[in-house]
Amino acid sequence: MKELLLLLNDGVFIGFILLTALHSAITVGYFIHVSRVSRKPWNLKVSNDYEPCVSIIIPAYKEAKVIGRKIENIANLYYPKHRLQVIIVGDPETIDAARKHAQMLNGIKVLLLEEKERLGKANALNYALKFTEGEIIATSDADAIWSPDALKNAVKYFSDPIVAAVTGHEIISNASKNIHTYSEQSYRKTYYIMRLGESKIWSTMIFQGELALYRRSYLKYFESRPGYSDDTGTVIRLIKEGYRCIYIPEAKFADAAPPNLKDKIKLKSRRGQHLVNALTEALKHKIKGMFPLPAYIALANFYMHVLAPIIQLTIPILLVVSLIRSTALVTSILLIAILTISMLDKNIRSLAELYISSSLALTLALIRSMAGTRSVIWEKIESMREI
Ligand code: GDP
Ligand code: MN
């Protein structure tokens, strides 16, 4: 009791309480709002039998090991073969491997493009874009596997001319492997409720290149400035131009999550850096009155991906400092006991892993972004390609 009074008199502890309350109010409040909207119907005219020609571009750098599996995956799509074009763009070794599997794509127009020198993913996409013939351009990664009905389900949304881009739903193929992959799967549930709510309101700014479709006549080019991503970077431009860019749950794809903390932080901080830059740009557009997405969506996303990670790291530090300053021994022991016992529960453990890994990765992303480190090429994560 005496300890509690001491704590309540401590400025650092008050800071801890206020920051926690503010952070929870913003994140939980936003989540509750968008999850309500996510259950509303689409305000779109969607025709089930809309079947335009689609060009699928697969950028693949040093992917000889997985490219055969990806080609087989495309061959199995429920979509008329004569309305498909597949373009694989990559280094000569990957293209050679692709050529060996190309007979699986019988009936589909196939183009294999060799990159003489490494261009980076976005530049490779833009190079391939010049050769596309479809009305719809799809992108996928060599290591991502689409569900057979994913393309068919995604394409139909383009029957409404306001739609410029559609992205899909990732299933973590190795979710049961360990806590790092399991926590990624848990996180995806919340993540997709937010993406669906935002899409129903107007658009989501966060896209996934593993399954992304664009209307050719609106697309023009993929964002390729260093520090921006081909998916989210491109979509922000399309939203600015007045079109809708949406996530739909019924276009599923499978991808592995990094199975260790090091690779997870590597992946999330690289993707996070792209997000930090893109979401900052979106907010700037909004401030200038040039962005049709509601201000609270732009602000909430900026908060969650740019500011919240630092706040999430600050919160436990404030708690520990205030406990030490107030020499609250009994409270500290009690807290440690509660924390230890709750760690026995797998879901709480996974929540803790997520809190730590995403706060660290996104803080790192922010530091990199502010330092101006920008690169168009990166090292692939081998642990995500174990078949
Ligand atoms: P991550 O999922 O964010 O880790 O990104 P990946 O490393 O899986 O890259 C996504 C896709 O882009 C993969 O199919 C890569 O092979 C491909 N990719 C990455 N860099 C390049 C590049 O420089 N050239 C080409 N052609 N493809 C690339
Ligand atoms: Mn990948």
Strand partners, 89: 59, 113
Choose the residue to mutate in 91, 141, 184, 267 for probing ligand 1, maximizing ligand atoms within 8 Å of C-beta: 141
pLDDT value, residue 127 = 98
Mean pLDDT rounded to a whole number for the chain: 96
Torsion sign over Cα 312, 314, 320, 322: negative
pLDDT band at 376 (very low <50, low <70, confident <90, very high): confident
User: Do the bridges between strand 54-60 and strand 244-255 make them parallel or antiparallel, or are there none, so unpaired?
Assistant: unpaired
Does residue 274 have its Cβ closer than 6 Å to ligand 1? no
Choose the residue to mutate in 115, 121, 208 for probing ligand 1, maximizing ligand atoms within 8 Å of C-beta: 121
Tokens read off for 70: 């990806």
Choose the residue to mutate in 116, 380, 381, 382 for probing ligand 1, maximizing ligand atoms within 8 Å of C-beta: 380
Cβ 57 vs Cβ 128: under 8 Å: yes
pLDDT value, residue 1 = 76
Cβ 376 vs Cβ 122: under 8 Å: yes
CATH of segment(s) 1-387: 3.90.550.10
Does residue 165 have its Cβ closer than 6 Å to ligand 1? no
Number of neighbouring beta carbons within 10 Å of residue 28:
10
Average pLDDT score over residue span 35-63: 97
Give the percent of the chain with pLDDT over 70. 100
Return the closest-CA partner of residue 199 out of 138, 148, 139, 243. Answer: 243
Amino acid at 125: L
- What are the structural domain ranges in the chain? 1-387
pLDDT value, residue 387 = 61
Q: Where does 227-307 have alpha helices with state H?
A: 232-240, 261-287, 295-302
Return the closest-CA partner of residue 244 out of 207, 194, 189. Answer: 207
Question: What is the whole-number distance in angstroms between the Cα of residue 92 and the centre of ligand 2?
Answer: 20
The whole-angstrom separation of Cα 284 and Cα 202 is 18
Does residue 120 have its Cβ closer than 6 Å to ligand 1? yes
Cβ 81 vs Cβ 107: under 8 Å: yes
Average pLDDT score over residue span 193-207: 98
Smallest-distance ligand from the CA of 142: 1
Output DSSP code: residue 256.
P
Average pLDDT score over residue span 94-102: 98
* Cα Rg, the chain, nearest whole Å: 23
Does residue 267 have its Cβ closer than 6 Å to ligand 1? yes
Does residue 63 have its Cβ closer than 6 Å to ligand 1? yes
